[in-house]
Homo-oligomer: A and B are copies of this chain.
Amino acid sequence: MHALTAHEITVVLLSLGVMLALARILGEVFRKFNQPAVIGELLAGIILGPTVLRPVWPELEHWLFPKGGGPEVVLQGITTVAVVLFLLVAGMEVDLSRIFRQGRAAVAVSLSGILVPFGIGLTAAWVTPDFLGRSPEVQPYIFALFFATAMSISALPVIAKTLMDLNLYRSDLGMIVIAAAIFDDLTGWFIFAIVLGLMQHDTGGMLITSTIGLTIFFVAFMLTIGRWLVHWILPWIQAKTSWPGGVLAFALALALFGAAFTESIGIHAVFGSFMVGVALGDSPHLRDRTRATIEQFVSFIFAPLFFASIGLRLNFLAFFDWDITLVVLFIAMVSKVLGCGLGARHAGMGWRESWAIGFGMNSRGAMEIILGTLALEFRVITERLFVALVIMAIATSMISGTAMQWVLQRRAPRRFLDYLHPKGFINPLQAIEREEAIRELARAASGISGLNAEAIEGAVLKRERMMPTGLGLCVAVPHARLHGMNKPLVCLGISRQGIEFAAPDGEPSQMIFLILTPADDNGAQLEILADISRTFLDAHVRQGVMQVNGFTEFIALLRTRQAGTLGGPR
């Protein structure tokens, strides 16, 4: 094989750039609607690949993703490394001790949440393998085992994000769900590795007993001695090498070695890096900063590239099949919700919580998609089942949050940013005293909502006279509940010299929030007030606000305030 030509290098760089840009843009669009970014990333590949771009503009598709040359091999190499690193991060999120800390309920949910879908999946695949999409090249029992595993797996990151959105992450219910999801992930991947090991027998690879023996040995080693070695060597690396470069390279090199090992014994490379991640992520010596650097780079660069590359593999429309898709979706949802729900109920939780746990665990997300991709590569399943699994993964992830809200009758608490209109951001305020400031903000609110400005002003002033609304730390929150509104409205005026709002700390207020909420909405005012005080407790934010020019910079300041460590749910 020749070295890459200048033209091929141009093609590689351009195709990577296009994949990354489109995947991230569509990922962001889905996040805006509170959906997993992975859906957008997958869609980017579907648009760039055989499904959309090839029929629409075949020359461009052929130029950007040529078949059978250097660029295709490079792309395959890079996306393989990408998924290996993605599973490293997924493994780092697995915290084994959690399962035991959560006790009986977590164990019941985990076991029942695996066994029920596994049993139902196994039966269904055994009864109608060909309808469900068995590849003619594999034996029925291998296909049945794979299908059962695919039904049992769950998507830890999506579940964690859903719980955080609903403010349930630190609750008892949240802890149980997370612990059970960790256990399901770990078990699911282990069973799948064994399934791939069994396949080696078929294709005449390594001896089946060696593959399975080595897989079990590797998992056992990484969970015991491997974990202990990492735990022991990490402080040494942090002490002796440049930081964070030493740890970063150590983690990545270890993941590559683990991946090479599992690939060489006949199961896929991703298992190796996943187990390395489990061993690494458990160690309290791994600093949050290092963890965040790895997670950010992988979640925002490598993962989008990998998921976009899935869309490039086949024509999703051509292989879409209503019958399989609906059956797979039905089996997956019913078995998982029932399994987890009954497990929780059995452990003594109320019906309402039990169903909430069932729906929470139902997300399949990125994990199912990766599982399906590997099964397709190893020719366990047909393209039609692959497409059905991808759709099932997306659908279960999208339903999860809404279903939990509905069962628990619980909403995500409201944030003030969602109700702040660009026209309601007044910087600087002309007013120099309280009533004037309220009038100025009321006029802006009237322009946005269409309510009468005097009515707003009157209601706010009435409330203000009962008790002044200076919170301290330069923040004031004049507010009122009004009839005729159907959603809250927040306006923010910034005053450089400060305006007296009789705050308990005696300081004049520089950030004045006007909060208007519907008269019949009991929670809104309190939730928005709590969100504002939480946000502006941070001195860094308060200083930053006084320096922003315009609304966009203000939003940028608030969004970049927290170092988000999770790249978003997948």
Contact in complex: B293, A297 (CB < 8 Å): yes
Interface contact B253-A10, CB-CB below 8 Å: no
CB–CB A556/B245 < 8 A: no
* A350 contacts B by Cβ under 8 Å: no
Interface membership of chain A positions 81-94, coded 1 if the CB is closer than 8 angstroms to chain B and 0 otherwise: 10010000000000
Q: How close is A16's CB to chain B, nearest CB, in angstroms?
A: 5
Interface string of A427-440 (1 = CB under 8 A from B): 00000000000000
A204 within 8 Å of B (CB atoms): no
- Do residues B300 and A256 form an inter-chain contact, with CB atoms below 8 A? no
A240 interface contact, C-beta 8 A: yes
| Min CB gap A228→B, angstroms | 16
- Please tell me if the beta carbons of B20 and A244 are within 8 angstroms of each other in the complex: no
- Please tell me which stretch of A136-144, A261-269, A318-326, A355-363 contacts chain B, meaning at least 4 of its Cβ atoms lie within 8 angstroms of it: A261-269
The answer to whether residues A13 and B84 also contact, given A244-B564, A553-B235, A555-B239 and a CB cut-off of 8 A, is yes
**A244 CA / B296 CA spacing, docked (Å):** 7
Tell me if A568 and B242 are in contact (CB < 8 A): yes
Contact A245 B10 (CB under 8 A): no
Kindly list chain B residues whose C-beta atoms are within 8 Å of the C-beta of A28: 240-242, 246
CA distance A514 to B94 in the complex (A): 44
B560 touching A244 by the CB < 8 A rule? yes
Given contacts A13-B84, A260-B13, A260-B17, contact A245 B567 (CB under 8 A): yes
Contacts of A80 in B (CB 8 A): 4, 9, 12-13
CB-CB contacts below 8 Å: A2-43 with B? 3-4, 6-7, 9-10, 12-14, 16-17, 20-21, 24, 28, 31, 37
Complex Cα spacing A68 to B301, Å:
29
Distance between Cα atoms of A12 and B289 in the complex (Å): 29
Closest residue to A74 on the B side, CB-wise? B77
Interface of A is mostly: helix
Check A14 against B246 for contact (C-beta < 8 Å). Answer: no
Q: 1/0 per position for A160-191, CB-CB distance to B under 8 A?
A: 00000000000000000000000000000000
Within 64-123 of A, Cβ neighbours of B (below 8 Å) are at 68-78, 80-81, 84
For the complex formed, measure the closest distance between the CB of A8 and the CB atoms of chain B, giving whole angstroms.
Answer: 9
* Cα–Cα, bound, A533→B199 (Å): 63
Of B74, B287, B568, which is within 8 A of A73 by CB?
B74
Q: Which residues of B contact A252 (CB under 8 A)?
A: 20, 301
List of B residues within 8 angstroms of A296 by Cβ: 244-245, 248, 293
Task: Determine how close the nearest CB of chain B comes to the CB of A85; give it in whole angstroms.
Answer: 10
- Kindly list the 5 A-B residue pairs having the minimum CB-CB distance in the complex, ordered from nearest: A74-B77, A17-B256, A245-B300, A239-B555, A238-B556
Query: Can you pick out 24 interface pairs between chain A and chain B where the beta carbons lie within 8 Å of each other?
Result: A1-B72, A1-B73, A3-B76, A7-B264, A9-B80, A13-B81, A17-B254, A17-B257, A20-B253, A21-B249, A24-B246, A24-B249, A24-B253, A28-B241, A28-B242, A28-B246, A77-B77, A236-B556, A239-B555, A239-B559, A243-B564, A248-B301, A249-B304, A287-B560
